[in-house]
Amino acid sequence: MADTAPLDERSDRDLLAQHCAGDPDAFGELFRRHKDRMWAVALRTCRDPELAADAVQDGFISAFRRADSFRGDSQVTTWLHRIVVNACLDRIRRIKPTSELPEYDLADRHDHHGSVDVRLDVQEALARIPEGQRMALTLVDMHGMSVAEAAEVLDVAEGTIKSRCARGRSALAELLRDKHGEGYPLPG
């Protein structure tokens, strides 16, 4: 028997199951619910809006086609994170790696609070650390995922996430200290 509750009241798991059973609207509701969060993940992962948009599209198409591969041993959002992060990594590997940041109008930068400079410095430093550390830090520190969730998304052990985060934070601190000295305000 089909669920008669409105789409926006159904759980993610129910929507995914209903999509697999042929409901033409169920996956659209999942997309509506999670597209912004997946966009944020992709943008922080790729650091390029165009690349991130392509990766989100790739990720949701993959999730749509492979919905029956969801085993139910995690949250649907964790499953979607993994698919989108993998789509990002696939896109990044296809292009020449770069650590350049987009151009910013310096006059405009000075009109903003100092946190803009801190954020730009952190983005620049993130671009210089190894991909595994960057991905772990992005998921745990920027997206607030638990170590267990990040481990599942990246398909590594929890200890690996802890280690990558610790090494990544240390590397970031060193890069920022090298640039600005000991008193540099690290975001927290």
Mean pLDDT of 55-66: 95
Report helix angle 26-46 to 49-65, nearest 10.
140
In the chain, where the domains are located: 1-98, 100-188
Q: DSSP per residue over 42-110, as a string?
A: HHHHHS-HHHHHHHHHHHHHHHHHTGGG--SSS-HHHHHHHHHHHHHHHHHHHS----PPPP--HHHHH
Mean pLDDT of 82-89: 89
Pairwise CA distance, residues 7 & 102, whole Å: 39
Mean pLDDT of 124-144: 84
Residue whose token pair is 């987009």: 102
Lowest pLDDT segment from 16-25, 30-39, 121-130: 121-130
**What is the CATH architecture of 100-188?**
Orthogonal Bundle (1.10)
Question: Six-digit token pair at 116?
Answer: 């803009």
pTM: 0.60
CA 105 to chain centre: 27
Mean pLDDT of 53-66: 95
The string of pLDDT tens digits covering residues 145-185 is: 789 888 888 888 999 999 999 999 999 888 888 776 665 55
Residue whose token pair is 């995914």: 16
Instruction: Give me the CATH code for the 1-98 domain, please.
Output: 1.10.1740.10
